[in-house]
Amino acid sequence: MKATQKLHDLGQSIWVDNISRGMIKSGTLRRYIDELSVTGLTSNPTIFDHAVGKSADYDETIRRKVAQGLSGEKLFFELALEDLTQAADMFRPIHERTAGLDGFVSLEVSPLLAHDTKKTTAVAKALHEQGQRSNLFIKIPGTPEGLPAIEESIFAGVPINVTLLFSAEQYVAAADAFMRGIERRIAAGLRPHVASVASIFISRWDVAVKDKVPSALVNQLGIAVGKQAFREYHKLLDSPRWQRAFNEGARPQRLLFASTGTKDPKASDILYVKGLAAPFTVNTMPDATLQAFADHGDLGAPLPIDGGDCDKVLADFSKAGIDLGALANQLQDEGAKSFVKSWNDLIGVIESKSNTLRKAS
């Protein structure tokens, strides 16, 4: 039995952190589903920037859409939704078998809207309606500015993948926004089953401190943060607040571990898969990490509900001079800026291709 199947049997959903037209056409995504127990996928502006910019797979569609008068962001979302709706249909049997818990794909709203709650909420709803798939998540960053849009989107019934979370505190804030949206739906007499995941980024912690801590602490921070978030996740699931919502028909917002590809070439290429195995969670991983785990992965002990040694490990980092709260905010800010850059690069690539193809036609 492959390690990916064992991880799935443990109770963790395996998603691939990638999407491209080539993955679908070549049968790669189908193979991931059939052979590597993949039950969903995530995307972001960087992924689509690479997909569109580094292949000719989108040229014909771009040429056709340009002739219809589309450009810029509208053209991008048409391209992205063509890919994601095909992928969503491939995951549909999983989505139906799990009663809407799993089998999701994700599309991010424009990061340029980060400070506009009203517009983010409107765009999230419009994109979900445009996709016409119940297993399409709309991604909204869990920044302080994004939290009101998350609450409003959940209240509006839009499935949300909360992205760019870096700490247990940021996770708790995002979970609270989700809960407020659900509780408002219950108070309004609306169906409270609105799907959501909360995505906490792992590997960037270790990259950020690799040259600032003793060797014994290298590559220890990301997993410790993940354990701490997992503890807070279970505190919420065990709380009367959640159980009241569950009693009304709500489904939990699952914890998702993101950025789980190993960045340090000296470390294990399955570090964050083995170290973050846990039931009722999701791990979304790059292709290389997925394939490595399938090839030579093995499972360690599942994450402890009480966080295990996370408090001690985090205290060791604090003693080494790492301000964990400040670093979490820095990583979130840098992540948001990185997505803006990728977004601008992506729109630039689409506009450049559009102009080239227009002239050639």
Which of the residues are catalytic?
A: 139
Measured between alpha carbons, how far is 240 from 246 in angstroms, rounded to an integer?
Answer: 10
**Helix (H/G/I), strand (E/B), else coil: 163:** strand
Give one word for 69, left, alpha or beta, with left for phi > 0 and alpha for psi -120 to 50: left
Q: Which amino acid is at 84?
A: L
Angle at 72 between CA 259 and CA 359, to 5 degrees: 120
Burial of 185 (0-12, 13-18, 19+ CB in 10 A): buried
**Could you tell me the CA-to-CA distances from 149 to 64, 67, 123, 223 in Å, in that order?**
34, 34, 10, 29
**Helix (H/G/I), strand (E/B), else coil: 70:** coil
Measured between alpha carbons, how far is 321 from 303 in angstroms, rounded to an integer?
Answer: 27
Measured between alpha carbons, how far is 113 from 107 in angstroms, rounded to an integer?
Answer: 14
